[in-house]
Amino acid sequence: MTGPGPGPFLLGIRHHGPGSARAVRAALEQCRPAAVLVEGPPEADAVIGLAADEGMRPPVALLAHAVDDPGRAAFWPLAEFSPEWVAIRWALEQGVPVRFIDLPAAHTLAPGGDDGERLAPDPAGTAPGPDGPKAGAGTPGDAVPRLDPLAALAAAAGYDDPELWWEDAVEHRRSADGGDALVPFAALAEAMTELRTAFGEGDGPDGARDLVREAHMRLRIRDARREFGAGIAVVCGAWHVPALAAKRTVAADRQALKGLPKVKAAIGWVPWTHRRLSRHSGYGAGIDSPGWYGHLFHAPDRPLERWMTKAARLLRDEDFPVSSAHVIEAVRLAGSLAALRGRPLAGLTETTDAVRAVMCDGSDVPLALVQDRLVIGDVLGEVPETAPATPLQRDLSRLQRSLRLKPEAASREAEFDLRKDTDAARSRLLHRLRLLGVDWGEPVRSRAGTGTFRETWRLSWEPELAVKVAEASAWGTTVLAAATAKAEARAVGSAALADVTALAEHCLLAELPGALPAVMRVLADRAALDADVVHLAEALPALVRSVRYGDVRRRDTAALGKVAAGLAERIFVGFPAACAGLDADAAEAMRGHVDAVHQAVTLLAPETAPETAPETAPETAPETGAPSGLRHRWSGVLGVLAGRDGLPGGIRGRAARLLLDDGLLPDGRAARLMGLALSTGTEPAQAAAWIEGFLGSGGSGGMLLVHDERLLSLVDDWLTGVPPAAFTDVLPLLRRTFSAYDPGVRRTLGELVRHGGPAGGSVTRPGARPAAAPPLDPGRAAAVLPTLRLLLGLPDPSAPDPSAPGPATPTTPGAAR
């Protein structure tokens, strides 16, 4: 549609295509248009002058965001090799006016608009206006599954990879000097016209939007023609070219634009990086190889040789032995590969294959270096000082206003009641800021008790925090988004399991549901790879606390619970092995872990109950994650611990005790275990450790002895049987154990033993009253039952069952304490 005659010259391009960029420059030189129109938000007309500024270094991006809601933002990234950038710079150098002609950001960012809402959580990952819809034109590899017209074109040319075809057909072509610079654009426009006919206008998910945008572009072109005459150039995605050339009435176009939702939008320049241009960083419409494209754009000649030399120098700097001979061989191999694959010129795939085979000895490790530093590249853009304030700062100011939390330099304490919405929001804000490194508030110990619904903060706003906010703005445009991104990044970067657990707790406090999945994933990964059971056991209690705490704050912690359950499983598998061969100190520490894990599992087990319940077949019930599954397996582990010879006595004793407390030791089994542990074959020191583990350093062990005469008699028998030489060895241990008991308990024990205690072997039954106590009077005992029922909320106060105390007994010791 564009002869060299009067324009408008429609220059269809691929975004970030170096070949397109070169072609655009040549075409502009040839046509010398009176004005240049570029696909982009018209709001940016006001800041376009900055592009010529000395301090402006691409890659940069136009960032538009809704004034009231900085989370609604869109980026239009521009690299040095972007055709749009080339056109803008050319126009500014020549003093030719530049206009943006795409749909205003005010519309694209409007809530009723198409994709504004999916922006908030991930500002970098989405690009509604700039690139998303243009997949048809220039970014065929776009992650969004859609109709890909380019793929059809590539298939017609015999390519199975559309990207590859575009490279060969457009980007790698170096136009012969003296040719008509407009010819390639005409050919491309023709192809696109065919495609649009074949696929139909406005197909695909973005189709309707495309039509609206194109209507707007046509109107703007019309305006420009009136102002500058026909000799204007339009730089836009190739897909749009046929639509812009089509004749439509003004009225029809205006009709298409009617009633679009609108918000107040602000726009500015932000620095960008090659890394964020690349698809790896989640920028949906990005390109794979900004560094390679930059190289193609800048290399004056022999791009392949220059690239290989660059790669060789990079590898040499990292101490890989790469000689010029390698470069020669790599260039040859890349050339031959291209010939074998029937490509006109070695592309990135051939170059990468050659670098891998020749320079990297087939290894992907040095190759990753080349990929990272060269193919993507470390280029960081710069924006002049005059750039406007960051959206993050604006979002923060807005939150400060709405939460009535003024930044004051003077330090003051604030107390929040988390049951109130405003206070909860304030707490969240402060937690999020702390995650971002903006330490405005510092949590201090609450004076009003330890309730989980109360938080006390010391607030103090230092001037340098503004700088921190500016730094943090790289993470996102809102406090929420930035904190989420930062938390995710920190999770990935943290080395120790405990760090991640702490981070998970922090995420719950700051309420970052977006970051939680990533943190959980890292947590699960770290847990899976951490071979040290002690680490796992250390991490578990904090995690279980998070589960409980999340509950308090009415948050969905199912994922957390799952991870915790997984962690517990891993602990179970490794625990017995980890307990073997420990010295006294390590055994002592491990005994602490046994307790901690036991508590955690008890807390956790009800959590895991509902989700795994339905799948069990009766016979496999013990093996599966049935309600009691986790606890069941833990008690299995405890059973192993209690019964295995060679483990430290303290651990075995503790395990036996925990089983006994849970009522999982069958009648007499506790006594048998104790008998085994205390029999003469056992080293006295180990036996004493067992007793310490079993009876605990707390007070409850004493009560146990008072109430179970058989155990007492076992201890008694063992103690009197210890040879005098060994007795001095075990005395400190025993003293440590028994001195922790309440004086009353100690006295009772002493009396029992002096009375001849349980009278030798005349054991009546476990749980029998000590001999010194008067026998139980059932009548008097029954009198407390109604009150007990009332306390426990049992429904049947008038139940005729006289044996009711039976089921209640297990709970009474706990209740008594």
Partner 1 sequence: MPGTEAQARSEARSEALRPHAEHAFAEELKALAAADDRPRPERWRLSPWAVATYLLGGTLPDGTVITPKYVGPRRVVEVAVTTLATDRALLLLGVPGTAKTWVSEHLAAAVSGDSTLLVQGTAGTPEEAIRYGWDYARLLAHGPSREALVPGPVMRAMAQGMTARVEELTRIPADVQDTLITILSEKTLPIPELGEEVQAVRGFNLIATANDRDRGVNDLSSALRRRFNTVVLPLPATPEDEVDIVSRRVDQIGRSLDLPSVPDGTDEIRRVVTVFRELRDGVTADGRTKVKSPSGTLSTAEAISVVTGGLALAAHFGDGVLRAGDVAAGILGAVVRDPAADRLVWQEYLETVVRERDGWKDFYRACREVSA
- In one-letter notation, the amino acid at residue 817 is R
- In one-letter notation, the amino acid at residue 473 is S
Q: Is 329 in the site for partner 1 (CB under 8 A)?
A: yes
- The residue whose two tokens read 């694209």 is 108
- Hey, what are 87's tokens? 């056109």
Q: Is 324 in the site for partner 1 (CB under 8 A)?
A: no
Kindly tell me which residue out of 410, 577, 725, 783 binds partner 1, with binding defined by CB under 8 A. 577
Q: Is 529 in the site for partner 1 (CB under 8 A)?
A: yes
Cα(326)–Cα(20) distance, integer angstroms? 32
**Between 155 and 174, how does the x/- string for binding to partner 1 read (CB under 8 A)?**
--------------------
* Residue number with CB closer to partner 1 (109 or 516): 516
Q: Is 321 in the site for partner 1 (CB under 8 A)?
A: yes
Kindly tell me which residue out of 324, 402, 452, 620 binds partner 1, with binding defined by CB under 8 A. 620
Give least dist CB 252 to partner 1, A.
Answer: 49
Give least dist CB 342 to partner 1, A.
Answer: 8
Contact stretch for partner 1 (CB under 8 A) within 351-359, 380-388, 411-419, 652-660: 351-359
Q: Is 251 in the site for partner 1 (CB under 8 A)?
A: no
Q: Shortest CA distance to 533 belongs to which of 497, 574, 579? A: 574
Kindly tell me which residue out of 68, 361, 683, 742 binds partner 1, with binding defined by CB under 8 A. 361
Q: How many residues bind partner 1 (CB under 8 A)?
A: 42
Cα(189)–Cα(515) distance, integer angstroms? 44
- The residue whose two tokens read 């006994």 is 660
Contact stretch for partner 1 (CB under 8 A) within 51-59, 67-75, 362-370, 435-443: 362-370
Cα(425)–Cα(106) distance, integer angstroms? 29
Kindly tell me which residue out of 285, 333, 469, 510 binds partner 1, with binding defined by CB under 8 A. 333
Give least dist CB 69 to partner 1, A.
Answer: 33
CA distances from 238 to 17, 187, 188, 642, 678 (A): 12, 11, 7, 74, 87
Q: What beta strand segments (E) does 356-493 contain?
A: 412-417, 441-444, 454-459
Q: Is 528 in the site for partner 1 (CB under 8 A)?
A: yes
Kindly tell me which residue out of 176, 226, 251, 325 binds partner 1, with binding defined by CB under 8 A. 325
Q: Is 623 in the site for partner 1 (CB under 8 A)?
A: yes
* Residue number with CB closer to partner 1 (13 or 164): 164
Cα(232)–Cα(657) distance, integer angstroms? 88
Q: Which helix (H) or strand (E) holds 656?
A: helix 649-661
Contact stretch for partner 1 (CB under 8 A) within 60-68, 79-87, 228-236, 613-621: 613-621
Q: Is 341 in the site for partner 1 (CB under 8 A)?
A: yes
- Asked whether the beta carbons of 81 and 293 are under 8 A apart, the reply is yes
Query: In the 8-state DSSP scheme, what is residue 266?
Result: E
Give least dist CB 577 to partner 1, A.
Answer: 7
Binning the chain into helix, strand and coil, the percentages to the nearest 5 are: 60, 5, 35
* Residue number with CB closer to partner 1 (330 or 379): 330
* Residue number with CB closer to partner 1 (243 or 520): 520
Q: Could you say which residues in the range 485-524 bind partner 1, by CB under 8 A?
A: 521, 524
Cα(459)–Cα(92) distance, integer angstroms? 49
Give least dist CB 615 to partner 1, A.
Answer: 8
Give least dist CB 157 to partner 1, A.
Answer: 18
Contact stretch for partner 1 (CB under 8 A) within 18-26, 290-298, 568-576, 717-725: 568-576
Q: Is 307 in the site for partner 1 (CB under 8 A)?
A: no
Give least dist CB 613 to partner 1, A.
Answer: 13
Helical segments of 205-319, H only? 207-228, 241-245, 250-257, 274-277, 290-298, 303-317
Q: Is 643 in the site for partner 1 (CB under 8 A)?
A: no
Give least dist CB 273 to partner 1, A.
Answer: 27
Q: Shortest CA distance to 67 belongs to which of 131, 110, 126? A: 110
Provide the pairing of β-strand 60-66 with 73-78: antiparallel
Kindly tell me which residue out of 32, 313, 332, 420 binds partner 1, with binding defined by CB under 8 A. 332
Cα(454)–Cα(122) distance, integer angstroms? 32
Contact stretch for partner 1 (CB under 8 A) within 61-69, 247-255, 358-366, 779-787: 358-366
Q: Is 570 in the site for partner 1 (CB under 8 A)?
A: yes
Q: Is 362 in the site for partner 1 (CB under 8 A)?
A: yes
As a whole number of angstroms, the longest Cα–Cα distance in the chain is 121
- Hey, what are 46's tokens? 């006001």
Q: Could you say which residues in the range 98-137 bind partner 1, by CB under 8 A?
A: none
Provide the pairing of β-strand 232-237 with 9-13: parallel
* Residue number with CB closer to partner 1 (569 or 717): 569
Sign of CA dihedral 548, 549, 550, 554: positive
Cα(538)–Cα(281) distance, integer angstroms? 34
One DSSP character per residue, 291-348 reads: HHHHHHHH--S-HHHHHHHHHHHHHHHTT----HHHHHHHHHHHHHHHHHHT-SS--H
Q: Is 340 in the site for partner 1 (CB under 8 A)?
A: yes
Residues lying near partner 1 in the complex (CB under 8 A): 321, 323, 325-326, 329, 332-333, 336-337, 340-341, 349, 353-354, 356-358, 360-364, 521, 524-525, 528-529, 531, 566, 569-570, 572-574, 577, 612, 615, 617, 620, 623-625
